[in-house]
Structure 1
Amino acid sequence: MNTRYLVCYDIADPARWGRVYRLLRGRGEHLQYSVFVCSLSWAELQELKADLVRLISQHEDDVRLYPLPSGATLEALGGSSLTPEGVTVMIDGRVFTESRENDTT
């Protein structure tokens, strides 16, 4: 069974950033500049983490993998609605659902 992960990264070196971007582009859906959502099995998660450890600087870079709850959706405020279907964001126990009800444009 796969779990969805929100993968966010802050990479200090542009060359390393590009390598991390290319790695994640092959394994997930690009949401924003340094944010992906990846649907991974436990084995795929372990492989991704090992690949990331090889690519990043442990002292200069920061990569975070947040497991996402199933069955929830994302609320988008501003910008475009490019959130892939099935993406969920949960912050402090609150689920954000994609909605354009208050869009004034």
Structure 2
Amino acid sequence: MPAFVIGYDISDPRRLQRVHREMCRHASPLEYSIFLLVGSDGAKDRCLAEIAALIKAAEDDVRCYTLPARGFQGRVGRASLPEGIVWTGLPAAIS
């Protein structure tokens, strides 16, 4: 199943909250404005259509990137979880 990283930069705090709530309905948050969506192209398209209805295209920025099926996964910097804690919320397809 395909996986997508969706990120956004929303200029208005009220729109930002609305977009964040809507994104939480479709995908798993990795950071406040970065989400992981594992699903079909149709699921991605539905998510982006919902977000497009909430933003102002001239002021806000939403980007979606398809992750390669067998791409490199790594992390640089401080771990987000304490040593020994594993987040099992990631779908098996990418964990």
Q: Displacement, 1:73?
A: 4.4
CA gap of 1:73–1:29, structure 2 versus 1, over 3 A, is farther
Question: C-alpha separation between the residues in 1 aligned to 2:49 and 2:26?
Answer: 14
Alignment match, 2:52: 53
**Greater RCO (CA < 8 Å, at least 6 residues apart):** 2
Question: C-alpha separation between the residues in 1 aligned to 2:53 and 2:37?
Answer: 19
Spell out the pairing of 1:1-105 with structure 2 (5 A cutoff).
2-81=1-80, 84=90, 86=94
Alignment match, 1:92: none
TM-score by length of 1: 0.71
Alignment match, 2:84: none
Deviations along 1:23-64, one digit per CA (max 9) or x if unpaired, are: 111211111121001012122122112111100011100000
Asked if 1 retains the 8 angstrom alpha-carbon contact of 2:8 and 2:61, the reply is: yes
Root-mean-square deviation (Å): 1.9
Partner amino acid, structure 2, of 1:65? C
Deviations along 1:1-20, one digit per CA (max 9) or x if unpaired, are: x3111001000011111111
Question: C-alpha separation between the residues in 2 aligned to 1:12 and 1:52?
Answer: 14
Q: Secondary structure at the match of 1:26?
A: helix
Alignment match, 1:100: none
Question: C-alpha separation between the residues in 1 aligned to 2:50 and 2:62?
Answer: 12
Q: Quick one: percent identity of the two aligned structures?
A: 33
Structure 1 gap segments, 5+ residues each: 88-105
Q: Which moved more, 1:60-69 or 1:34-43?
A: 34-43
Q: Which has the higher strand share?
A: 1
Aligned length: 86
